[in-house]
Amino acid sequence: MLQALLLAYGGPSRAAAVFEPTYALHSHIARLTRTRVAVGERAGDFTLDIDEVKRVMVDAAPDITFLCSPNNPTGRAEPEDTVRRVLDMAPGLVVVDEAYGQFSPWSAFSLLAREPGLVVVRTFSKTWSMAAARLGYLVAAPEVVTQLERVILPYHLDAVKQAAGRLALAFRDEMEQRVSLIVEERGRMAAALGELPVDTWPSEANFILFRPRHRSGSDVWQALVERSVLVRDCSSWDRLEGCLRVTVGSADENDAFLAALREALT
Ligand SMILES: *Cc1c(COP(=O)(O)O)cnc(C)c1O
């Protein structure tokens, strides 16, 4: 879906805006389609600064503006007011990537009816636990979908994948139950992390970004691995120096993580 959007609305002489740090594939696919990438910087707490959004809109006049809500890898969802203000300022399409949308209390779906320039992208990979199916979708105005149909290949969505997606929809209650368990566990983990010598950022996704205060991120990562706990090492990523990202799992997994982290931090 992201590639189709960039094939239809990006390309040479066009620009896509991203606000870093964010999901790396937005700028990566933009570059693959030879779309110029206009980079905005998030504030120190990783929220979107409206003056910075305005600067990027005026400087680059992007044909596509990417938001990621909740933002991967930092975790916070964009507030409704922020998305509305971006929509007001953006000269082109605004794509809200909601790969983690069901973990968040608010979705840009609620703005679609009155915002013809808004596109919401989702995937079966996260909340449906179906990453291997490679199935995603978007919701947008019919005019946008018509443009996308010009660039996607014929029969791009095979019958097996369609069957898998439909079958998954019959298990929506299970998905929602799983999501609400994870949201509950996320709260418990955030509280536990708050008691430890780490900086954390609020999350509306199924992961929490944190930065150990007294040991390097990669040392803590290694110490966790030695205790059979694998988290995402973001410590060498631009703008995320020293940070690790833990995915919220089952209560047992989260307990194992917290126990290992307490040891790893000392
Ligand atoms: C995982 C993810 C996607 C898409 O994942 P697919 O498995 O390719 O469907 C898109 N955006 C964000 C922010 C993601 O984290």
Give residue ranges with CB within 6 A of ligand 1.
Answer: 23, 68, 72, 97, 99, 123, 125-126, 131, 136
pLDDT tens digit sequence for 139-181: 999 999 999 999 999 989 999 999 999 999 999 999 999 999 9
- What's this model's pTM, rounded to 2 decimal places? 0.96
Best residue among 71, 120, 125 to mutate for probing ligand 1's pocket (most ligand atoms within 8 Å of CB) is: 125
pLDDT tens digit sequence for 23-57: 999 999 999 999 999 999 999 999 999 999 999 99
pLDDT tens digit sequence for 188-213: 999 999 999 999 999 999 999 999 99
Closest atom of ligand 1 to CA, residue 125 = 7
- DSSP labels, the chain: -HHHHHHHH-STT-EEEEEESS-HHHHHHHHHTTPEEEEEEPPTTSPPPHHHHHHHHHHH--SEEEEESSPTTT-PPPPHHHHHHHHHH-SSEEEEE-TTGGGSS--GGGGGGG-TTEEEEEESSSTTS-GGG--EEEE--HHHHHHHHTTSPTT-S-HHHHHHHHHHHTTHHHHHHHHHHHHHHHHHHHHHHHTSSEEE---SSSEEEEEESSS-HHHHHHHHHHTT---EE-TTSTT-TT-EEEE---HHHHHHHHHHHHHHT-
pLDDT tens digit sequence for 110-144: 999 999 999 999 999 999 999 999 999 999 999 99
Domains parsed from the chain with CATH numbers = 2-161 (3.40.640.10), 173-265 (3.90.1150.10)
Distance 246 CA to ligand 1 centre (A): 17
